[in-house]
A and B are shown apart, each in its own frame.
Chain A
Amino acid sequence: MRVMAQMGMVMNLDKCIGCHTCSVTCKQAWTNRAGTEYVWFNNVETRPGQGYPRRYEDQDKWRGGWDLNKRGKLVLKAGGRVKKMFGLFASPVQPELKDYYEPWTYDYKTLVDAPLGDDFPVARPKSLITGEDTKVTWSANWDDNLGGSAENGHLDPLVEKVRRESEDKIKFAYEQTFMFYLPRICEHCLNPSCMASCPSGAIYKRVEDGIVLVDQDKCRGWRQCVTGCPYKKIYFNHKTGKAEKCTFCYPRVEVGIPTVCSETCVGRLRYLGLFLYDADAVTAAASVTDPQELYDAQMDVLLDPNDPAVQAEARAQDIPEDWIDAARRSPVYALAKVYKVALPLHPEYRTMPMVWYVPPLSPVVDLLRDQGHDGEDHGNLFGAIDALRIPVEYLAELFTAGDADRVTAVLKKLAAMRAFMRGISLGNDPDESIAEAVGMDGQTMYEMYRLMAIAKYDERYVIPKAHVEQAHDLEEMGCSLDFDGGPGMQDSSPFGEASGRPVPVAVDTFNALRDRQTSDEVSAGTSLKGRVNLLNWDGRGAPPGLFPDKGPEPGTLAAAEDQP
């Protein structure tokens, strides 16, 4: 047994309101640079829907993830090492920009600069790739809130699958049936197929916290990882020619604060914490024959942090004491393995994903309410979960490789929790029978309720800090994502585009902060250069630049020109 620690995330889909705040803040933090215009490390998909990039779950086409070969050995679906080497010159299956979308902006300037005329000026969309006028036809969340699903709904690979396996009548009522949101980031898998696909060995998993990163210096742009990742969460920066991916906000996590997407989540639906897992058991677990048993295999890989034997082994592996303690308090471990309400996304890809989802009960509750039933009554809910096969089967395609019973069990737990807590809220005695109906006891159910409904910041995010003795190394990790316009990022340096050494994150942040503190504008204007931004002023003393220069004497021509 080799105990390793893994940062994990759980998202409670019942709470997601589809506001895209996580996507936007993530983009502002990580992918607001040239070359990554089309990249969303975090995106929110409306399901049923095609997703981003379009139909990424259709692995018959995109060949992502792992497969078992005839001898039951784990092999990359897109082909082994030799086949990959022959595909270097033109990657055989790689999504193109049109599969994501062509990023665009608007010609806002004409709104301001257009001369007076009879017509209103229009801000036309301009492609961020070519700079030409463009027609906006698709985006990362084009089918948001089932937009266009009457026409395109059947293009969801999971809908196709459920329809194939179900009776015909589902077909017609399908689009009206249900809807929920699925926020997605990199899964930081235990058995990542992107890493296995990388010819250069540039993608690595950090032993300390399991975060999967791309070494920007080692990446040579062979782009096999894009094919390898079944979630299509590795992106090719078309300007630097390097692969980029969600970093689990490692600079934040290392100092004990949650990722940007978690921090800004309006619904507070994300949980962050540690898993302890047995690294030696991963390959065997991912090689289980029946895809529907992969969930159980993944559960077995996760170790119980309260088990003294596991703790002893963790100490033997030099996992710090505060990390073991954090693993004991981990909300993600509780939701995934103790309460067993969080499920992995597409376990059938055999990558052992470490971002988990509590499946949404709300489609069922909404339907009950619409039909005039009491959506909070556990009797009604239990029956409805069984009766409303369509959402359950769809969820099963997402989370349990098609095992509907497993999803039903989770939904029943959530329904039981609803009914159990409603009884308490109405002043009744806790109804233990509700908890027992789903194999729990009242106390556990109450604890689960606390974690899922009212857990505070430090209960939702249990993130042990990286150790101070490592601080020096953390300053300049080999995986900095660069900023446009930095010293190494000239448009066209002598050695080709984006050539040069990357600027370490620390230096870049320092410069950016200094620029911001001495400027009132987004781009530092000359007139305000050297001035103190009052928002950043600590109120003590009068630093240089607090007050504007005196300027020309009043009454002079220069002063008159300065008047607005």
Chain B
Amino acid sequence: MVTLEAQPGAAVELSALDIVLWGVLPYVMVVVLVGGLIWRYKYDQFGWTTRSSQLYESKLLRIASPLFHFGLLAVIAGHFFGLVIPKSWTEAVGMSQDFYHFNALFVGGIAGIGTLGGIVLLIYRRRTTGPVFMATTKNDKAMYVVLTAAIVFGLWTTLASVFEGGHGHNYRETVAPWFRSLFIFQPDIAAMAAAPFSFHLHTLVGMALFIIWPFTRLVHAFTAPFHYLFRPYIVYRSRDRDGGRTGGRARAGAGSRSVTTAAQNPNAPAAKRGWSAVGTQDRDTRNR
């Protein structure tokens, strides 16, 4: 068994399971997530959509969907604050542990409950509105189970620490160092292994969520249209996207008539359009 220094002075015995779950699985997850996203972006642009069901039902969606999505954005921000920013930094700017803890529980709790309420409403809507339920695939159902589980278990860790009060587990000494250590390829497995079961469960379900992410409708999150804020309103695109350069290829394949055309106009400039550079990239960036 490998023995690592988890915290100064405390040697922790690590089981093989710990190594697999907290040392190997995170990297597997990243490989599947990134590889899956690249693969899907390349081969399934057509399936890459929100698959909105607003056309069928709008009343409930109008409340539930923003509740869920904005809640989720807050939750993501909270995760960033809790996991990425080391405890020493917040202490350095004079934020006491109690103050941090209160904030994390209060804001995090509200965001979590909002997100959970949102997704419960969305699932209720999905189940009870006939057309929406009919448009729900098995893939969607599986995704909803994992997504809801991740939110529920995450909320559990938060609420548990409310009831445990100041004596509760401080994830900034276990989960957060482990999370950061993953990025420098020195996973602090012992730190994570020392965290309580509720955190283990939430982390595992979270990793499962990221593993299935590229293969579900969740992918729409990765094409959030931030470039809309910067692009021009009117988009021009050329039909012959690389102008004269395709000319030879097209003539070769297009039969005698076009060859004759070319012969009749030997001095005609290649079919390069003055506006070829205008507009967004065409689909030739993809490997089709």
Residue positions of A touching B, CB distance < 8 A: 2, 4, 81-82, 84-85, 88-92, 94, 96-97, 129-132, 191-192, 195-196, 198-201, 203-209, 215-223, 236, 238-242, 316-318, 466-474, 476-478, 482, 488, 492-502
Contacts and interface: CB of A to CB of B under 8 A. Distances in A.
A466 B282 CA distance: 18
Interface in B46-96: 46-58, 61-62, 65-66, 68-70
Contact of A204 (B66, B220, B280): B280
Interface centre among A89, A191, A476, A494 (most CB of B within 10 A): A89
Contacts of A471: 250, 253-254, 258
B135 interface: yes
Interface centre among A84, A192, A467 (most CB of B within 10 A): A467
Interface residues of B, number: 76
Interface string B116-139: 000000000000001100110111
B228 A501 contact: no
A495 B47 contact: yes
A301 B14 CA distance: 76
Nearest to A213: B237
B164 interface: no
B211 to A, nearest CB: 14
B233 interface: yes
A500 B229 contact: no
A236 B139 contact: no
A207 B55 contact: no
B170 interface: no
Contacts of A500: 44, 46-47
Interface centre among A84, A97, A203 (most CB of B within 10 A): A97
A148 to B, nearest CB: 25
A497 B135 contact: yes
Nearest to B273: A318
A492 B44 contact: no
A192 B55 contact: no
B58 A96 contact: yes
B135 A469 contact: no
Given A131-B134, A191-B234, A207-B278, A469 B49 contact: no
Given A90-B66, A217-B45, A201 B251 contact: no
Contacts of B237: 204-207
B115 to A, nearest CB: 12
A54 to B, nearest CB: 15
B46 A317 contact: no
B216 interface: yes
Nearest to B61: A90
Contact of B234 (A129, A196, A477, A488): A196
A334 to B, nearest CB: 26
Contacts of B131: 97, 129-130, 238
Contact of A473 (B50, B135, B217, B239): B239
B46 A482 contact: yes
B228 A85 contact: yes
**4 pairs of A and B residues whose beta carbons are closest in the complex:** A499-B47, A199-B225, A241-B51, A217-B45
A466 B49 CA distance: 32
Interface stretch (B98-106, B146-154, B192-200, B241-249): B241-249
Interface string B252-268: 01100110011000000
A482 B280 CA distance: 23
Contacts of A81: 228-229
B282 to A, nearest CB: 7
Nearest to B280: A201
Contacts of B139: 492, 494-496
B283 A478 contact: yes
A217 B283 contact: yes
B228 A208 contact: no
Contacts of B269: 318
Given A200-B228, A470-B271, A94 B54 contact: yes
B40 A495 contact: yes
B38 to A, nearest CB: 14
19 contacts: A92-B62, A97-B56, A129-B130, A201-B228, A217-B45, A220-B223, A221-B220, A240-B46, A241-B52, A318-B274, A468-B251, A469-B240, A469-B254, A469-B271, A470-B239, A470-B246, A472-B249, A494-B139, A501-B45
